[in-house]
Each structure stands twice: as C-alpha cells, then as structure tokens.
Amino acid sequence: MNHPFLILTLLAYLLSLGLYLRFLNTGKEITGRLGTLFLAMGLVTHYLALLVRSRGSHTVPYHDLYGSMSLFGWLLALTYLGLEFYHRQRSVGAFVMPFVLVFFVAAHLAPSDKLAPPATHGVVFALHVTLSILAYAAFALSFVLSMIFLGEERHLRRHQLGEMVWRLPPLDLLERMSRSSVLVGVVSIAIGTALGFVSVDRLAGEHSFYDPKYVITLLVLILYVLYFRLARTTTWRGARASKLCIFNFVVVVLSFTVVNLYLSHSHRYF
Amino acid sequence: MEIVLVGLNHRTASVEVRERVSFTNEQARRAADELRSRGILEETLVLSTCNRSEVYGVPPESSHECAPGLSSFLSEFHSVRPDVLSVSLYHHYDREAVRHLFRVSAGLDSMLLGEAEILGQVREAYRFAHEQGATGPVLNRLFQGALEVGKRVRSETELGTRPMSVAAAGVKLAERIFGKMSERRALVVGAGTISEQVVSQLRDRGIAHLSVMNRSRDRAEELAKQFGGKVVGWGEWDTALRSPDVVVSSVSADEPVLRRAIVESAMSARENRALFLMDLGMPRNVEASVAKLYNVYVYTMDDLSDIVQQNRSARESEIPRAEGIVEEHVGKFLSWQASVELVGLVEALRIRMKEERAAFIRARLDSMNHMSEADRARVEGLMDEMLEKLLLKPAEQLRGEKELRRKIQNVEALRDLFLSNREKP
C-alpha cells in the first residue's frame, strides 16, 4: 500500500470511522458531519486508487479477488453514503465503516493474485460485474442494518437501555433503511444478471449458460424479493423480517465464497 | 462599570414570595424605566421565570453601594415588606454576578438540572430589554455571553439531553421505536394529571393524531378539547387500538384494563404494526403477559422511573464539564470588561494630562512676555505631542495584548494611583 491514493483513502476512512464513533458516543452534530465529509473524501481517493490499479493492469479492477474486494468496499461506502443522505441518518456510519475498512485493507495489503488477468470483455461485462458487486454491497448494508435493528429491539424489549440505544436510529427508520438498501441490491442484481446473460450471449463459447452461480443468484434474488414483500406483512413485520434479511445475506456470502471459488466456472471473484 | 444582581429563586424563596415578586413584561419595562430614571442603575435587565426573579444592572457608582437601594426598590415595586423580602434575596457583584447568570443560562441553577426552557427565557428577557433600550454595552455583552454559554453547554455536554420526567422519558422511548411523533397516532386511556403531562409532551413533539378514552366522558372531552384530540368511548378497544402507535394508560383500576386477549386481537387487526404501551397506572393497567406479544413494547411506571433516575445521574456527571464552560466564559467576559476599563483609564489619563499641561503653561508662560503668540502655540503643540507619544504605546498595548490586560488585575488601584476620584471615567 504505497500509492498516495491508497494512503489517503486509508486515512480518510479511519478518520471517518473515528468521527462516526465519536458522533455515536456524544451526539455532536459537527463530528457526524465531519465523518460524512471524510467518508466522501475517502470515496474519491478510493475511486482514484481503483482507477490507477485498473490502468496499471490494463483491465477492470476486479480481475482478482483483491481488486474485487476493494471495489466491494468502495461500493459499500458509496451505498451507505447514498442511504445516509436519503434518510438523513448518520448513526449507522460507525457500524458500516469497519466493514469498508476491512475490505479495503484486506484488498490492498494482501499479496496480489498470481493468476493472469482475463481478457477484456467490454462495457456490458464491466457493468454486469459492477452491478453484481453493488448488489452484494447493498445486501451487506441491509445485513448490518438488520443486525442493529435486532440489537436495539432486544434492548428495548428487555428494558436494557444503555448509552447506545439513545443514539441509534429509531427501529422504524432502520427497517426503512434496510428496505431501501435491499431495493438497491435487488434492482442491481436483476439488471446485472440480465447484462451477464447478454455478455455470455456475445461471448458465446467462452462461458456456459449452465453455471451454479446462476442458480444461486436466482435464489438470492427470490429471497430478497421475498424479504421485500414479507417485511410489510402481518406475520413478518419487524424482527422476523430482519432475521430473514440476515439469513439472506448468509446465502449471499455462500454465493460469494463457496460457489465462486469451488463451483462456478466463470464467476471467480464476483 | 460594575455589575450588580439582586434576585430570588426556588432555593431562597417560597412559591408565595416568588409569585409576588414575579414580573410581567409590562412590569419589567416599568421597573427598568424607574430604576434608570431614579439613577439607581444605568443599564437594567429583568429576568423573571416561574422559579426566579432577578434584576441585573450596571450602577453609576459602586455595585455594593447600590444593592440596598435595589432591594428597597423591589420591595416597594411589588409591595412586599422589606423584612419578608430581605431573607429571600441574594446579591451578587461583578465576577459572582457574571458567573451566576452564566450558570442560570447553562441550566445549572435550575430546579430541574439542565432544563432547556431557561435558555429561551434568558434570550427573551434580553431581547425585550434590548428593544426597550434598557441595556447598554455591558449588559449586551454579558447576555450575549450567557446565550453562548447556554448553547455550548447544550451542544457540548449531555446536561440537557436526557428526559427527566416519566412523561418525557416515555415519549422519548416511543421515538426510539417510531422516530418522529409528527407522523404517529396516540391513544390516552384515563384523563388524570399524569395523562395530561404525557399528552402535553406528545403535543410538544407534534403528535399527528390524539384520542382520549376515559370512564368519565366529560373529562375525556375536556382533555381532548384542551389538546386538540377526539374522544373514544370507554371500552371500545376494537376501534380504539386499531390505529394508534402509542398507548398511554393511567386509570385507577383494581385489575388490568388492557388484557392480553384485547391486545392480541388488536395486533392482529393492525397487522402487527409496532405498539408502544406506556402503563402509568398503579396498580398496573396492562396485563404482564402483554409484553410477550410480538412487536409490542410495554413500559410501566417503574421502568420509566428507573430511566429517569439513570438520566438524573448521567446529567449530574456532566456538571463539571458544564462548570468548566461557565468558568471559561466568565474569564472571557472579565477580560473584555478589564480591557474596556483600561482603555477608559488611558483616556481619562490623557484628559488629566492635558489639563495639567494647560495649567502648567498658564503658570509658566505668563511670566515670559517676550514670547510671541505663535511661539506659545508652538510650545503647547510640542507638549501635546509629547503627551500623546507617552500615552500612545501603552494604549495600543492595552488594546492589542490580552496577556497584558490579564496581568493588570486591579484597574481600580491604577485609577487611584493616577487619577483623583473626581476624574474617574
């Protein structure tokens, strides 16, 4: 991690995390705003770092696991920032930033993949991959939000109101933020998958239509659409919907790890 | 340029005395006018709330000398016997008066530690006095400082963040579940004092819709009318529980009013939308097993009292930080005050030296008839120039160097050293 953009990104994300934590602890509006500012700065430098990496390797930045992880971290931060602006809520930043940092640091500190970069597949393929990773990032965000919801709900029901509960977003808002995040994920994965099929069609012969990744992606899509539908119904509203969201993300992680690494023919890193 | 404060508050005076010595806006205006026209004070501000009545002022002479006159004035103004009033009044001067006001503004001197209303009351009292022309440079600076202290204490400490009453704690908890109350509905079961307090809190938080249910329909209608809600018939749970997000119950009953079956049926009808039940009845109005229902949150009087107690402790732990802010601003104000006084002292010194110069020239040059008018004028000019040079550097240093002003602790001693009492600025 020698490039100035990487160091600047790391610093910006670390400062953002520190400020979000302080905001959660003290409730001072100015620290929350500064947290957002540093997150935005980190996003810009992270984007430039991805661009440099992409240009250096003459291919998309997700040609290896580490590039893919870095892009995931960037999209997670970007989705969170979008949600923060849309819902005007900063308390979640302290919970999201550690994930962003873990993915960023793991991607850039670990040794490079020795595999040869794949051939460039054009814009449609790039969009397919980017939207798929965006969907995973959005699902990860909804997972974090659901975990916060369950923690807060548990404390409220048990009347165990520590310092933190007064600082967290209201349960209703957490539910809405989680649904917004899932909506971003569902739309992204639907479009991304469709573009994937277009890409496969164009690159006939290079990829198979019969890949376990397609099955699990379809399953993920169905599970999240189900969540979206059930989260507003009588039986599932509230904590149950959050538990379903967490279960769904476990399936996403399986798709991202086991299926990609051991079962899929053409989806190694996304 | 001293400051004097005479007043009473919830700690020094009974509610009867506080009621008698409180000021309406019109009385505050009249009192300020009279105090200035009688020459007791040059600048005046009256701060009157339900727990305190205080008169802040800048006297023409020493603040200690003017305090008895101010006490007599209050006694006369409110027609309260001096001996009754004197045991309740406190007097503060200069640094202590500044500190007192800053502590008041921070909520440190309030009956309810850290209460938010006092800052608005200080702001309103200042605005009113300023509009009436009763304040001057000293009180303007003092009250602007007080408002800044109040804002800083509220934004930098947790002194005013936690709810301190059962009603406020309940509404704050409801906000943890639903967010802003402006989009929510509430049902109040029972129309007693505690219900009224909760309704008032809900209204302050902008509750969108309010229903009242009470055994006595007249009392329910009264409360609904007072706070702009509608009345629901006693026992009509099916309709009453269908829409509200928050239910506050405080009825006197030997057995729970809200039984599990009632709430279970309501939850089904309302598609399991979250329900916050504030049970403020004693004995409890909500059956204990209701708390086990999905998406139902039940808080009893004991639960809320525990939260209030925790909050009180949390607020008290913030006192040292708030006091630190107060002290910082007291220091700032006193430094400003000293700088103004020092600059005034230099000005007085300049006038004094010019007078001395004029007397000196009269005494010495009258015997030197050989000097022409032009030469005399030239000598006077040279002496003036020398005096200006002598005073220029210290005056500039006093204006620019905070540290120097801090070092000069006793302006009064300097004044006594260089000026007679007659020439004090």
A152/B176 Cβ within 8 A: yes
| CA gap B309, A64 in Å, rounded | 56
Are B52 and B7 in contact, with CB atoms under 8 Å apart? yes
B308 min Cα distance to partner chain A (Å): 11
Q: Which residue of B has its CA nearest to A165?
A: B176
> What is the structure's pLDDT at A54?
76
- Residue at which a domain ends, from A86, A112, A138: A112
Q: Residue B252, SS3?
A: coil
> What is the structure's pLDDT at B286?
93
Cβ-based neighbours of B356, under 8 Å, separated by 6 or more = none
Q: What is the CATH number of domain B166-313?
A: 3.40.50.720
- Other C-beta atoms closer than 10 Å to the C-beta of B421 total 7
DSSP labels, B328-383: HHHHHHHHHHHHHHHHHHHHHHHHHHHHHHHHHHHHHHTT-TTS-HHHHHHHHHHH
- Same domain, residue pair A126 and A172: yes
B165 min Cα distance to partner chain A (Å): 16
- Same domain, residue pair A146 and A89: no
Q: For residue A61, what are its two tokens?
A: 């930045």
Q: Angle formed by the axes of helices B166-178 and B193-204, to 10°?
A: 40
**Lowest-pLDDT range of A250-259, B87-96, B187-196:** A250-259
- Same domain, residue pair A95 and A123: no
Half-sphere exposure at residue A218, Cβ-oriented, CA atoms within 13 angstroms = 7
Is B50 designated active site?
A: yes
| CA gap B160, B419 in Å, rounded | 48
Chain A residues whose beta carbon lies within 8 Å of the beta carbon of residue B303:
159
| Phi and psi based region of residue A122 (left: phi greater than 0; alpha: psi -120 to 50; beta: remaining) | left
Q: In this predicted model, what pLDDT tens digit does every residue of B282-298 receive, in sequence order?
A: 888 999 999 999 999 99
Of the candidates B419, B276, B271, B259, the one whose C-alpha atom is nearest the C-alpha of residue B341 is: B419
Q: In this predicted model, what pLDDT tens digit does every residue of B35-70 receive, in sequence order?
A: 999 988 999 999 998 889 999 999 987 767 788 888
Hey, of A159, A163, A233, which one would you mutate to test binding to chain B, going by the most B CBs within 10 A of its CB?
A159
Q: Is the confidence at residue B263, as pLDDT, over 90?
A: yes
Q: In this predicted model, what pLDDT tens digit does every residue of B14-30 receive, in sequence order?
A: 888 998 999 999 999 99
> What is the structure's pLDDT at A230?
86
At CB < 8 Å, which residues of chain B contact A? 155-156, 158, 161-162, 172-173, 175-179, 268, 271-274, 291, 294-295, 297, 299, 303, 306-307, 310
- Other C-beta atoms closer than 10 Å to the C-beta of B114 total 26
- Nearest CB among B177, B295, B303 relative to A170 is that of B177
Name the maximum alpha-carbon separation found in chain B. Answer: 119
Q: Does domain B4-161 have CATH number 3.30.460.30?
A: yes
Residue with tokens 């300020």, as numbered in its chain: B32
Beta partners for residue A66, in sequence order: none
Chain B residues whose beta carbon lies within 8 Å of the beta carbon of residue A168:
176
Proportion of chain B above pLDDT 70, given as a percent: 92
Question: What range defines the domain where residue A39 resides?
Answer: 1-112
B178/A171 Cβ within 8 A: yes
> What is the structure's pLDDT at A142?
94
- Between CA B386 and CA B391, with CA B389 as vertex, the angle to 5 degrees is 110
Mean pLDDT, all residues of chain A? 84
Equal fold, B4-161 vs B166-313: no
Of the candidates A254, A249, A243, the one whose C-alpha atom is nearest the C-alpha of residue A99 is: A249
- Same domain, residue pair A132 and A235: yes
Rounded alpha-carbon distances, angstroms, from residue A199 to A121, A153, A185, A209, B399: 8, 44, 20, 11, 75
B334-344 average pLDDT score = 78
Q: What is the CATH number of the domain that holds A34?
A: 1.20.120
ipTM greater than 0.85: no
Q: In this predicted model, what pLDDT tens digit does every residue of B102-133 receive, in sequence order?
A: 999 999 998 888 888 899 999 999 999 999 99
How many Cβ pairs within 8 Å bridge chains A and B? Answer: 57
Of the candidates A237, A111, A222, A256, the one whose C-alpha atom is nearest the C-alpha of residue A171 is: A237
- Same domain, residue pair A7 and A105: yes
Chain A residues whose beta carbon lies within 8 Å of the beta carbon of residue B310:
161
| CA gap B16, A246 in Å, rounded | 62
Chain B residues whose beta carbon lies within 8 Å of the beta carbon of residue A238:
272, 274, 294-295
A74-87 average pLDDT score = 93
| CA gap B77, B96 in Å, rounded | 25
Chain B residues whose beta carbon lies within 8 Å of the beta carbon of residue A156:
173, 176-177, 297
A150-163 average pLDDT score = 87
- Between CA B70 and CA B79, with CA B74 as vertex, the angle to 5 degrees is 150
- Same domain, residue pair A205 and A97: no
- Same domain, residue pair A50 and A160: no
- Same domain, residue pair A71 and A183: no
Q: Is the confidence at residue B424, as pLDDT, over 50?
A: no
Domains of chain B by residue range = 4-161, 166-313, 328-423
Cβ-based neighbours of A194, under 8 Å, separated by 6 or more = none
Of the candidates B149, B154, B161, B160, the one whose C-alpha atom is nearest the C-alpha of residue B327 is: B149
Q: Is the confidence at residue A208, as pLDDT, over 80?
A: no
| CA gap A82, A88 in Å, rounded | 10
pTM: predicted TM-score of the whole model, two decimal places: 0.70
| CA gap B107, B110 in Å, rounded | 5
B188-208 average pLDDT score = 88
Q: Is the confidence at residue B388, as pLDDT, over 90?
A: no
B122 min Cα distance to partner chain A (Å): 24
**Lowest-pLDDT range of A89-98, B117-126, B155-164:** B155-164
- Same domain, residue pair A125 and A258: yes
Q: In this predicted model, what pLDDT tens digit does every residue of A185-196 receive, in sequence order?
A: 999 999 988 888
A157/B291 Cβ within 8 A: yes
Are B344 and B399 in contact, with CB atoms under 8 Å apart? no
**Counting beta carbons within 10 angstroms of the beta carbon of residue B77, is it exposed (0 to 12), middle (13 to 18) or buried (19 or more)?**
middle
Q: Is the confidence at residue B83, as pLDDT, over 50?
A: yes
> What is the structure's pLDDT at B425?
47
Say yes or no: A27 contacts chain B, CB-CB below 8 A. Answer: yes
- Nearest CB among B179, B272, B273 relative to A235 is that of B272
B155/A168 Cβ within 8 A: no
Q: Which residue has the higher pLDDT, A141 or A112?
A: A141
Q: Is the confidence at residue B409, as pLDDT, over 90?
A: no
Q: Is the confidence at residue A237, as pLDDT, over 60?
A: yes
Q: Is the dihedral of CA A77, A83, A86, A88 positive or negative?
A: negative
Cβ-based neighbours of B177, under 8 Å, separated by 6 or more = A156, A170, A171, A172, B245, B274, B276, B297
| CA gap A81, A93 in Å, rounded | 9
- Nearest CB among B175, B177, B295 relative to A237 is that of B295
Q: Is the confidence at residue A267, as pLDDT, over 70?
A: no
Of the candidates B108, B95, B98, the one whose C-alpha atom is nearest the C-alpha of residue B321 is: B108
DSSP labels, B34-63: HHHHTTS-SEEEEEE-SSEEEEEEE-SS-H
Q: Which residue of A has its CA nearest to B291?
A: A157
Report the amino acid identity of residue A136: Y
Per-residue confidence band for B163, with pLDDT thresholds at 50, 70 and 90: confident
A117-123 average pLDDT score = 62
Per-residue confidence band for B159, with pLDDT thresholds at 50, 70 and 90: confident
Q: Which residue has the higher pLDDT, B357 or A103?
A: A103
- Residue at which a domain ends, from A112, A136, A168: A112
Q: Is the confidence at residue B393, as pLDDT, over 80?
A: no
Query: Pairing mode, if any, of strands B230-232 and B209-213?
Result: parallel
Q: How many helices (H) and strands (E) does chain A have?
A: 8, 0
> What is the structure's pLDDT at A61?
66
Q: For residue B119, what are its two tokens?
A: 């800052």
Of the candidates A132, A137, A142, A130, the one whose C-alpha atom is nearest the C-alpha of residue A216 is: A132
- Same domain, residue pair A90 and A123: no
Cβ-based neighbours of B305, under 8 Å, separated by 6 or more = B166
- Same domain, residue pair A143 and A172: yes
> What is the structure's pLDDT at B330?
94
Q: Residue A149, SS3?
A: helix
Looking at residue A256, what DSSP letter applies?
I
- Residue at which a domain ends, from A112, A146, A167: A112
B172-200 average pLDDT score = 89
Are A213 and A255 in contact, with CB atoms under 8 Å apart? yes
A171/B272 Cβ within 8 A: no
Domain count, chain A: 2
Cβ-based neighbours of B176, under 8 Å, separated by 6 or more = A152, A156, A165, A166, A168, A170, A171
Catalytic residue among B25, B39, B50, B273: B50
- Other C-beta atoms closer than 10 Å to the C-beta of A261 total 12
Per-residue confidence band for B184, with pLDDT thresholds at 50, 70 and 90: very high
Of the candidates B60, B58, B56, B122, the one whose C-alpha atom is nearest the C-alpha of residue B91 is: B56
- Same domain, residue pair A91 and A157: no
A28/B295 Cβ within 8 A: no
Per-residue confidence band for B418, with pLDDT thresholds at 50, 70 and 90: low
